[in-house]
Amino acid sequence: MKKIMLLLLLCLPFTGFTQPGTQQYVCPPCGPCDNKLFDKPGKCPDCGMDLIQFNPETMKQQPLTIAFYLQDGVEVLDFAGPMEVFSYAGFKVFTVSRHKAPLKSQGILTIVPDYSIEDAPPADIFAVFGGNSSSTSVDQAVISWIKARDKDTRHYFSVCTGAFILASAGLLDNLTVTTFHSSIGYLRKKVPSAKVLDNARYVDNGRIITTAGISAGIDGALHVVSRLRGEAVAKEIAKEMEYDKYVPEQGVTATQK
Amino acid sequence: MKKIMLLLLLCLPFTGFTQPGTQQYVCPPCGPCDNKLFDKPGKCPDCGMDLIQFNPETMKQQPLTIAFYLQDGVEVLDFAGPMEVFSYAGFKVFTVSRHKAPLKSQGILTIVPDYSIEDAPPADIFAVFGGNSSSTSVDQAVISWIKARDKDTRHYFSVCTGAFILASAGLLDNLTVTTFHSSIGYLRKKVPSAKVLDNARYVDNGRIITTAGISAGIDGALHVVSRLRGEAVAKEIAKEMEYDKYVPEQGVTATQK
């Protein structure tokens, strides 16, 4: 019931600008320009991609899907904060792990993943989290699986040391990124071509969003929602969650040229 | 590895004040006076309880236990934030539900509880959370079970509409409390003798701590740790979690007279 206003808001970011009888155009999902509307076809002035026709009905019928990859030992707040945010945003969230066997989060919470890497469907967004993430970042079966799904993945989202999993898949090369505060130096060594920030709550590279440690995942997820569904939706979610502590300026947008 | 400094800190709040060869005294767990040390036996000047001998070795060997009651539909961030905090504080956290069958949190996350109400051991702290909490607050089997455990429970902790479960057990009568922002009015009707605050992130009544909605559970849990393990431990946990957004002044201490 408390989500009714939010569900209405979910239709607003685009439809609020749409005038009857006119066709509008948007940039394919790629970066901060995703939620801009244009009156005619052409190229996006921000990223140069070809604009596509905007169809609000299609968007409403197809909620964004997001795969939460959870390894045994995953930090509980790393994934739960973003799960709360994306759930409120109407994203279709599912969990996937190396196997379907129950896993322990934080050594406490027993979780049964929805899928294993053998049968997980594709998702618009692929999310990874800290907490024993090193076991996954050296697991070639998982890394190969992530790479094989790359063509179907629009965005990557990492919290805390989940960044090391994306790094192992070669996804952070030459990007500006961040990770858990104690792991900044390790990530700099692992990905020498990346600029690893130690003073950003999240860093948005357009396709790939990395956040700082644990609780920073909440802010990063709100930022993703702000980009993909509009700032009004993100603010409404923060209000519902009583997370008035969200400060967008604590994040960095580093759109690649 | 990142918890090593924290584990050291866990011994500090009391042992830091302990001088070799001297015996010190503390108040039994009851309220904000719990973490004060006294040089001689007597009565606590804050609550009037008889002081007991302080034994840091015993405290180290017996971590506080906390039961997380999770109902089907429980809000994921409601419990995950406090679970992260209490885990860092070295509390022994376990989960319990009505039955042992898997439950869904947020309609997404499949969780297998450690215990049912048939076999759950006693715990120092009993914690309840929002998200379909009304199903539990009218379940007489659960409410009776909570009441039967009362003699072994030192503290109660509720997040969001978890307060309604405590209310059904008669635990909020005549107290100053809080709950999820949309449910303030409902709680006032349910517990007319309680003062329900709509502007507090958490309210501490000594034995019972209630918090506002969803993300406020993080702040409430940090407050509980601050009381039971010392402010330095709470601050260190907030730092590790990158939750520099913790503002103790957003909570209210309403010690009962």
pLDDT tens per residue across span A64-88: 999 999 999 999 999 999 999 999 9
* Average pLDDT taken over every residue of chain B: 86
Spatial CA neighbour of B203 closest among B223, B189, B218 = B223
- Is the pLDDT assigned to residue B10 strictly greater than 60? no
Q: What is the mean pLDDT of residues A135-153?
A: 97
Yes or no, beta carbons of A76 and B83 under 8 Å apart: yes
Confidence class of residue B27 from pLDDT cuts 50, 70 and 90?
low
- DSSP H helical ranges for chain A: 4-10, 12-15, 56-61, 76-88, 133-137, 140-148, 163-168, 184-190, 216-229, 231-240
Query: What pLDDT score was predicted for residue A51?
Result: 67
C-alpha to C-alpha distance for B3 and B104, rounded to whole angstroms: 30
The residue whose two tokens read 């070295």 is B90
Higher-confidence residue of B31 and A192: namely A192
The contact set of A with B (CB < 8 A) is 2, 75-77, 80-81, 83-84, 87, 93-95, 102, 106-114, 180-182, 201, 212-216, 218, 240-243, 245
Q: What is the mean pLDDT of residues A240-244?
A: 94
Yes or no, beta carbons of A245 and B80 under 8 Å apart: no
Q: Strands B176-177 and B195-196, how do they pair? A: parallel
* Average pLDDT taken over every residue of chain A: 86
Spatial CA neighbour of B150 closest among B119, B177, B171, B129 = B171
A interface test, pick of B108, B114, B161 with most A CB neighbours within 10 Å: B108
Q: What is the mean pLDDT of residues B64-77?
A: 98
Burial of B25 (0-12, 13-18, 19+ CB in 10 A): middle
Structure tokens at B28: 């039994």
Query: What pLDDT score was predicted for residue A13?
Result: 40
Residues 6+ apart with CB under 8 A from A75: A105, A106, A129, A130, A131, A160, A214, B84
Yes or no, beta carbons of A242 and B102 under 8 Å apart: no
Question: What is the interface pTM, i.e. ipTM, of the complex?
Answer: 0.81
- Is the pLDDT assigned to residue B20 strictly greater than 70? no
Cα dihedral across residues A186, A191, A195, A199: positive or negative: negative
CATH pick for B63-253 out of 3.40.50.80, 3.40.50.300, 3.40.50.150, 3.40.50.880: 3.40.50.880
Query: What pLDDT score was predicted for residue B228?
Result: 94
Q: What is the mean pLDDT of residues B87-111?
A: 97
Confidence class of residue B50 from pLDDT cuts 50, 70 and 90?
low
Whether residue B182 contacts residue A2, with contact meaning beta carbons closer than 8 Å, is answered with yes
Query: What pLDDT score was predicted for residue B255?
Result: 62
- Within chain B, which residue ranges are assigned CATH 3.40.50.880? 63-253
Q: What is the mean pLDDT of residues B189-215?
A: 96
- The beta-carbon neighbor of A215 closest among B83, B111, B242 is B242
Q: Which of A55-59, A130-134, A243-247, B161-165 has the lowest mean pLDDT?
A: A55-59
Distance from the A182 Cα atom to the nearest Cα atom in chain B, whole angstroms: 8
What homologous superfamily does CATH list for A61-253? Class I glutamine amidotransferase (GATase) domain (3.40.50.880)
C-alpha to C-alpha distance for A225 and A207, rounded to whole angstroms: 13
- Is the pLDDT assigned to residue B30 strictly greater than 50? no
- Is the pLDDT assigned to residue B16 strictly greater than 50? no
Whether residue A192 contacts residue A203, with contact meaning beta carbons closer than 8 Å, is answered with no
Confidence class of residue B49 from pLDDT cuts 50, 70 and 90?
low
Query: What pLDDT score was predicted for residue B233?
Result: 94
Chain A partners within 8 Å of B212 (Cβ): 242
